[in-house]
Structure 1
Amino acid sequence: MSRSYEEVVGELERALKFGINPSLDGIQALADALGRPERAYRAVQVTGTNGKTSVTRMTAALLAAHGARSGAYTSPHLVRYEERVEVDGEPVAPSVFAEGVSVALDAADRVAAGAAEALGLDAGGALAQFTEFEILTAGALRIFARTGVDWAVLEVGMGGRWDATSVVSPQVAVITGVALDHTDRLGATREEIAADKAHVIKPGSIAVLGPGCAGVEHVLFERALSCGAPTVRVGQGEDDVAWSVRSRPRALGEPLVLDVFGAEGTYRAIELVAPTYQAPNVATAVAAAEAALGPLDERAVRAAFAGLRLPGRFQVLDPSVPLVVDGAHNPEAAGVLADAVRELMPGAPVVVLGVMADKDARGIVDALVPVARGFVCTRSVSPRALDPAELSRLVSEAGGAVYAVESSVATAVEAARLLSSSGVLCTGSLYVAGEVVASYPASSQR
């Protein structure tokens, strides 16, 4: 049946309570019911603890710059669901999103009804059988088929082995890096987490290993060898793809300029308005695009990055304050963010901090205390958000100054702006970043 955008969003939000399904059975059944839409185009699948959203967007931009119609599937969204599904660099229209997800929901109802009939049980509706991410992924795969993309670049939600995006057999499998995150589900060590993420590498794919894989490459090489998949390594030593920074940005809005020495060619003077920490992601995306297309056109590479924006990744909402949002949600990402603050906000900002309860809040705090003037602790609207009073205790224990504790992101930002003359940084989760972006005038965002 046809559903409005609002009806689709309502059903997705109800499906959230069904959490994570450690199996590919559900998404396989949905893909079968939809006629296997993922076979209508080629795919790049991107996993990794950090950097995977940026690499997904960069890779899609590179493919589009070379004449391919490209799709990008990312998660989570900052403000609206349709942000997760882009075609040629733009989110699909709400009506397109609603149609695609509505068809996926109908397929889920059919699958649930068929399974129940076979067992002699009450179906209970699709939302009792499938997770939000499975339904979203199925909808995105169909949207990409209906819009005629040549390539879809799919960001893994978590891990790799059981992620819904792993219904595809990618031509290119990217692992940006491996750090300790989601240890309750993926494993307690980097090696265990790498073994889970390694499952994006499949027979017929080329594996691209980002610099964050250092130390666990042996796990990924073993998987690639078992699949007969060639590997491309990205790094600064004797790797297949490397980069060199020509100039670092010295102020917000200034570009990072770098050269990338690819496996198929050299691409000089690439400019991207972003902190220097994005340089490895640029190189990883170039490696992925080369694996997909072969040698790239240098002018097309420069054009792809010149117009690229990365929402929620050191995004400047107001350069006059300045007001910056970043979705850093684990200690490794927070450490990288701290380097960007040293580079671009040397006056030390007031940090609006909200963290999810299942994250390493202390590790995030420890990374940010050295670069923060002080903290306004808060929480997002997510029921999984950490109590801001507990967060303020962690900040104090780490030697940080707690300026205020606020019950909402909106009031926290208002308090921080009154307290700071050197800038405000909002971080700790993409949910916090999204709430700030949603409340700020779109016309002023950079």
Structure 2
Amino acid sequence: MTDLPPDATQAPPSMEARPAETFAEVEDALLSRWPETKLEPSLDRIRAFTELLGEPQGSFRSVHLTGTNGKTSTSRMIETLLRALDLRTGRFTSPHLERMSERISIDGEPLDDEAFVRAFNEVAPYTHLVDSEQDHPLSFFETIVAMAFAAFADAPVDVAVVEVGMGGTWDATNVIEADVAVVLPVAIDHAKYLGDDAATIAAEKGGIIKPGSVAVLAEQTPEVAAVLLARAAEVGATVVREGIEFGVAARTPAVGGQVVSLQGLRGRYDDVFLPLYGAHQAQNAAVALAAVEAFGAGALDEDLVRAAFAEVTSPGRLEIIRRSPTIVLDAAHNPHGAEAAAAALEDSFAFSPLVGVMGVMEDKDHEGLLAAFEPHLTYLVCTQNSTGRSMSAAALGRTAVEVFGEDRVSVVPDLAEAIDRAATLAEAAEAIDVSIGAGAVLVTGSVVTVGEARAMLKGRR
């Protein structure tokens, strides 16, 4: 259990005051609550909250996703396929890249400011009731989860695609009874909260597998697979596994993404263009397809599948945000994600030089991130994002010098300046003693870093 600040057991002031009127007011109110980066593992608060709200999560069917990496991309793919089947969808993902309202989408679009304020005002009058009755007040994450469920119920949606915030068993999203539980590849991340070995983490994530559900399991290591299969057997869930019941039959890199053949649970789907890069995204697509088939859709029309996947986007995941030089954004923040991103860069591009801009969070495995990217980056600019959780550029730089060598690293704390420095190096390859080629910049290390870079660079295009 996380150590709590001295006043954490005291309920915050009553929220019976006037409703919020602006997005900024909602943002301030949510951020004043216990942060989502710290956990007090219990579903008591969220259960009490949703009970007061009339159990909105019971008014729609759901697909629940966990795993170490790939949740948001796969959620977006599942949602796109479900919408192609004329189902009204809600999607809850976290964290956000640029704006908090990105976390709650209906019909494929994030809530606009007015709808986000309305969702907050619907739940806000009940927050103080929960705060006063529980040992600890509602957190930011618990509050925004309830906002999402209330918004989905009000829409109303037919099905919600819900990504866990962290883990599974004790995650606030786990008050849903999902028809389909998706477990993407499990590796080590958030070790402080989830455990420092993959099997322990898998036991926590497997908590989203519920009695009578279908568990769609991405390819896992043997120890993780054993834990997840045991959980499914314990609760009587049906299991379908990547590489056995479904999977990627073939993939070929292509301009703007890749062309894949997917073996689903009910049929095979060939010549599917996926406008995302990397083998890991092809695997995410296979998982998404199996999840939708398992949801009850059965075999899907091949043209529908092709049309849906062709529309998929996943901002901040190997996203080309600018040309001349090319700037790529990828939110990899752990070694597993970094290895997948690096493999995709080698698979789909021929950048030379590739200059990295990296800003990481203090609690992440920055040594593992650096080691995963080192063989693929010509040069690295160490920076930091604007949050208090960010590791300082200087501290990151000290470790980077040990991994890359002093002549391949510079430290530029300001993110905008760091990107400009990297772009200059990518354009003038001779400045770092490599032959001139198709130079590019990769901004990575944290969702927050990538989100801040994305906001800056969109304005420059």
TM range (shorter): over 0.9
In structure 1, the residue matched to 2:426 is 420
- Give me the whole-angstrom Cα distance separating, in 2, the residues matched to 1:399 and 1:30: 49
- Which of 264, 267, 276 is the aligned partner of 1:265? 267
Q: 1:324 maps to what in 2? A: 328
Residue type of the partner of 1:56? S
Hey, what does 1:386 align to over in structure 2?
Answer: 391
1:409 CA displacement: 1.3
1:1-400 matches, cutoff 5 A? 1-3=18-20, 4-17=22-35, 19-113=38-132, 115=133, 129-212=137-220, 214-235=222-243, 239-249=244-254, 254-277=256-279, 278-292=281-295, 293-343=297-347, 344-400=349-405
- Secondary structure at 1:216 match in 2: helix
SS in 2 for 1:177: coil
Cα distance, 1:240–1:304 mapped onto 2, change above 3 Å: same
Any idea what the Cα deviations from partners look like across 1:381-428, whole Å, max 9, x if unmatched?
Answer: 111111111211111111354442112211211111122120111000
Please say if 1:407 is aligned against 2:413.
Answer: yes
Contact in 1 for aligned 2:34/2:137 (Cα 8 Å): no
% identical equivalent positions: 39
Letter in 1 for 2:61: R
Residues 122-167 of structure 1, C-alpha deviations (whole Å, 9 max, x = no match): xxxxxx6011100010000111111111110000111001001101
Q: State how far apart, in whole Å, the 2-side matches of 1:402 and 1:129 are.
A: 47
From the superposition, tell whether residues 16 and 418 of structure 1 become closer, same or farther in structure 2 (CA, over 3 Å).
Answer: farther
Corresponding residue for residue 454 of structure 2: 437
Distance 2:315 2:460 in 1: 14
In structure 1, distance between residues paired with 2:459 and 2:90: 23
Per-residue CA distance 1:8-60 (angstroms, 9 max, x = gap): 10011111447322110111111111111111110100000011111111111
Separation in 2, partners of 1:204, 1:92: 32
Shift in Å, 1:267: 1.2
8 Å CA contact retained: 1:16, 1:132: yes
- Superposed CA RMSD in Å reads 1.6
Secondary structure in 2 aligned to 1:288? helix
**Structure 1: how far apart are the matches of 2:460 and 2:48?**
42
The secondary structure found in structure 1 opposite 2:453 is helix
SS in 2 for 1:420: helix
CA deviation profile, 1:352-399 (whole Å, cap 9, x unmatched): 001111111011000111111101100111111111112111111113
How many residues in Structure 1 have an aligned counterpart in Structure 2? 427
> How far apart, CA to CA, are the structure 2 residues paired with 1:227 and 1:327?
34
Cα shift at 1:246? 3.7
Matched position secondary structure for 1:15? coil
Q: Which secondary structure state, in structure 1, belongs to the residue aligned with residue 286 of structure 2?
A: helix
Q: Aligned-pair distance for 1:315? A: 0.8
With over 3 angstroms needed to count, the CA separation of the structure-2 counterparts of 1:313 and 1:12, relative to structure 1, is: same
Structure 2: which 5+ residue stretches go unaligned? Answer: 1-17, 428-438
| Letter aligned with residue 373 of structure 2 | L
Which shows bigger deviation, 431-440 or 8-17?
Answer: 8-17
* In 2, Cα distance between equivalents of 1:341 and 1:97: 36
Q: Deviations over 1:72-106 (max 9, x none)?
A: 11111111111111112211111111111222222
Whether contact under 8 Å (2:218, 2:241) holds in the other structure is yes
Q: Which residue of 2 aligns with 1:124?
A: none
Structure 2: which amino acid aligns with 1:79? E
Cα separation, 1, equivalents of 2:265 and 2:319: 31
For residues 87 and 96 of structure 1, the distance between their equivalents in structure 2, rounded to whole angstroms, comes to 10
**Distance in 1, Cα, partners of 2:199 & 2:35:** 30
Aligned-partner Cα distance in 2 for 1:246–1:17: 41
TM-score scaled by length of structure 2: 0.89
| Helix, strand or coil at the partner of 1:211 | coil
8 Å Cα contact 1:352/1:412 also seen in 2: yes
TM-score (norm 1): 0.92
Give 1:270 shift: 1.1
Q: Deviations over 1:214-243 (max 9, x none)?
A: 5421111111111110001012xxx00011
Helix, strand or coil at the partner of 1:432: helix
Do 2:351 and 2:440's aligned partners in 1 also have CA atoms closer than 8 Å?
no
CA contact (8 A) 2:371 2:403 kept: yes
User: What is the one-letter code of the residue matched to 2:416?
Assistant: A
| d(CA) in 1 for partners of 2:221, 2:57 | 28
Quote the Cα distance in structure 1 between the aligned partners of 2:177 and 2:139: 21
